[in-house]
Amino acid sequence: MFLRNVLRPFLKLVNYPMVFSFSTTAKIMASKVNATVEEPVLRVTRGSKRKLTSPITKNEDALLNVSKQTGHRSLHSRIKAEKTDVQQLSKEKEPSITSQHVSNPKNMKAKNTVIKKEESHEKDLEKHGKQAKLKKEKSAKAKRIGTEKSVSKDVVPKPELIIPEIIIPVNKPVIKRKDGPSPWNGTIKYENKIFLGAHISAAGGLENAITNSMNIGGTSFALFLKNQRQWVSKPMEDVTVERFKAACATHKFFPHLILPHGSYLMNCGTNDPVILAKSRANLLDEMKRCERLGILYYNIHPGSSCGKGTREEAIKSIADSINWVHDQTPDSKVSVVLENMCRQGFTIGGDFSDLAEIIEQVFDQSRIGVCLDTCHALAAGYDLATAQGFETFLEEFERVIGFRYLVAVHLNDSEGEVGCHRDRHASIGKGKIGLEGFRRIINCPRFRDIPVVLETPYISDDYYKQEILLLKSLADSETVCA
């Protein structure tokens, strides 16, 4: 006792715990601890119940007081921390239910309500899950059935552009074109007439082009053999070919008076290997279509370098493309017809020398021709509005290219001035060429027995009919319009 009384002040100064002592306080503490009964705290959460990892005793306040009395700081800190955790849990949205709460009937009712809500929520989740699964199964089944139905029917495969291996022929003998308006002098009867027409629609079937041409009073016509803005179109059916040929024979639309126009997508002058390969494949496809239909000419825009190559390279690429197509169709009589352009940008064909150089590099020159576009010629700098300008135009064409290559004419007035380099077509007499300019064109002997077709802005079929009548009215006594 004496020793304890002496050491007590010093022990208090250092806050040394007194649990080890044999004092009554220690005995009380031991008895309190032994009397403690651990009862875990239940925390109800959605869909689950779990026990706290560190259960708090019912007599925690007693232990807290003992630790304060003995100065046992570590024990005091642990109890205080655990008590704080329990208080924080009780402040959460979801209620914490202890054994004391459970014993209370009101709290039991609250607990049961919470559990029922959780069970209801679980059932809802399960229900929605089953519905989603069922919906997914139905969708998969419908898709499977739809696929089976589509397979069971006669499905027409989507046409694909087949790009063959392209080997450009070299060192072949040159076949010169004979003099005259067409290389087929032995098979075509010439009547020394002007054959007027227009670029008309072939909607609903190629055979409808003949009917549409007759409705506007045309004796020649131009058309697209397929969608001009797509690389690929479905193959022609045999019945379409037969109907087209029969209609042409019945209404005397001879093969040399029909001028199909090539796709606007083609560019045989490009150095882009993908576009060039597609252009050549498309050129071959349309040439074969012409052959099946019995048509002699196929009109194309030569192409453009697009600023990524030289003019000479573009011209060689165009000539190589024509040589390759000729090589792929050795028995065909179809000619590639090059159209003069308006010198816009990097296009080839604005100058007659461009066309002459292409022709010079083609081996079979009997299967190549030229189509003169009046709007393009004016925009390129050839003055068709005056008598002197028109004579100069004809003389230069004969000197640079030769009229033996002329197989067609596109009749268009021009919105732009001479040399504007703008491809802007206008109705006959509404542009810079004027009616007097077209009077000279209609009465020119060089333009007889070939298709002379309108490419003026489409207003209506009746307007095309009126334009054809207007052009016929410009013909003099020596010019006969078919």
Tokens read off for 113: 């309500």
3-state DSSP assignment of residue 150: helix
Active site residue 229: yes
From 256, 410, 440, 448, the catalytic residue: 410
- Give CA–CA dist 293/37, Å, rounded: 105
From 280, 289, 425, 440, the catalytic residue: 425
DSSP string, 276-296: HHHHHHHHHHHHHHHHHHT--
3-state DSSP assignment of residue 199: strand
Give the rounded distance of the alpha carbon of 373 from its chain centre: 32
Residue bearing tokens 């100069």: 392
CA distances from 313 to 144, 351, 414 (A): 54, 16, 30
Contact (CB, 8 A) for 368 and 362: yes
Tokens read off for 398: 């004969």
Please name the residue ranges forming H helices in 294-328. 311-328
Active site residue 72: no
Active site residue 251: no
From 72, 177, 261, 448, the catalytic residue: 261
From 285, 320, 373, 413, the catalytic residue: 373
Active site residue 423: yes
Contact (CB, 8 A) for 465 and 215: yes
Active site residue 261: yes
Residue bearing tokens 């006792």: 1
From 285, 320, 339, 415, the catalytic residue: 339
| 96-97 vs 451-454, strand pairing mode | unpaired
From 177, 199, 280, 301, the catalytic residue: 301
Question: What is the amino acid identity at position 422?
Answer: R
Residues 204-219, buried b or exposed e (16+ Cβ, 10 A)? eebbbbbebbbebbbb
From 38, 165, 229, 478, the catalytic residue: 229
Please name the residue ranges forming H helices in 329-386. 352-360, 374-380
- Give CA–CA dist 31/27, Å, rounded: 6
From 264, 312, 360, 391, the catalytic residue: 264
From 376, 404, 440, 448, the catalytic residue: 376
Contact (CB, 8 A) for 267 and 306: yes
Residue bearing tokens 């074969």: 288
From 351, 357, 455, 467, the catalytic residue: 455
Tokens read off for 439: 């009077």
Active site residue 425: yes
Active site residue 404: no
Q: At what angle do helices 352-360 and 311-328 cross, to 10 degrees?
A: 50
Active site residue 376: yes
Handedness of CA 42, 43, 49, 50 (dihedral sign): negative
Active site residue 46: no
Task: Give the residue numbers annotated as catalytic, written as ranges.
Answer: 229, 261, 264, 301, 339, 373, 376, 410, 423, 425, 455
